[in-house]
A = this chain, B = another copy of it.
């Protein structure tokens, strides 16, 4: 098994080099980049649909949408008004890596982007190990999952800067307890910025939009 670990280390360090190159490019263009990570079905695509709908005239938004199979998410995002959407079909891989993101970015005109979302494969484990050159990881959980997810999958929440708790419209229909979920997440990572939202009802999204505008402005060197 030592051989396997050595190979994994090699893969990760090759990934880190590519991620550093992505980060340098995005830094040069002052593009805010967010890597969205969650279980399948927590609402990454729904959050992006809402965000495109609300901010398309305020920010120039690009999305790289990863999935194991299908371009369903990318198609949804184009329908939602996305002008710069690139799908990545991993064809089996359980996470995006920096090489895939490099290839997708090569098809985008960096001069026309303020904010880049990278929608990772739905998976709470593997994507946590792969730096994609992003500024921050944004983890989503939804109120129809267990509120102990941060404890069960700690690496993902430790490496994220932001936690979005989605589907607050369904609170009360399951045993999910929002304060307990917050506590569990903050136990793993006390620095998490937490948003409580419902992509269905729209509740809480305004704070998310304002935060995105603020962060993009800071990145551009023009604090809002």
| Closest chain B residue to A167, Cβ basis | B144
Query: Would you list 11 pairs from A and B whose C-beta atoms are within 8 A, ordered by A residue?
Result: A1-B11, A4-B11, A41-B141, A45-B146, A69-B152, A69-B154, A72-B148, A92-B155, A93-B125, A123-B125, A170-B173
By size class, the interface of chain A is: 35 or more
Contacts of A186 in B (CB 8 A): none
SS class, residues of chain A in contact with chain B: loop
Number of copies: 2
Q: Is the Cβ of A145 less than 8 Å from the Cβ of B94?
A: no
The answer for the CA separation of A55 and B202 in the assembled complex, in Å, is 42
A36 within 8 A of B: no
State the Cβ distance, A60 to closest chain B Cβ, in Å.
27
Contact of A94 among B39, B68, B70, B123 (CB under 8 A): B123
A70 in contact with B151 given A41-B142, A142-B144 (CB within 8 Å): yes
Q: Tell me if A190 is interfacial: C-beta within 8 Å of chain B.
A: no
A152 adjacent to B67 (CB under 8 Å)? yes
> Could you say which of B144, B146, B152 contacts A170, with CB atoms under 8 Å apart?
B144
Using CB atoms, name the residue of chain B closest to A90: B125
Least CB distance, A8 to chain B, in whole angstroms: 8
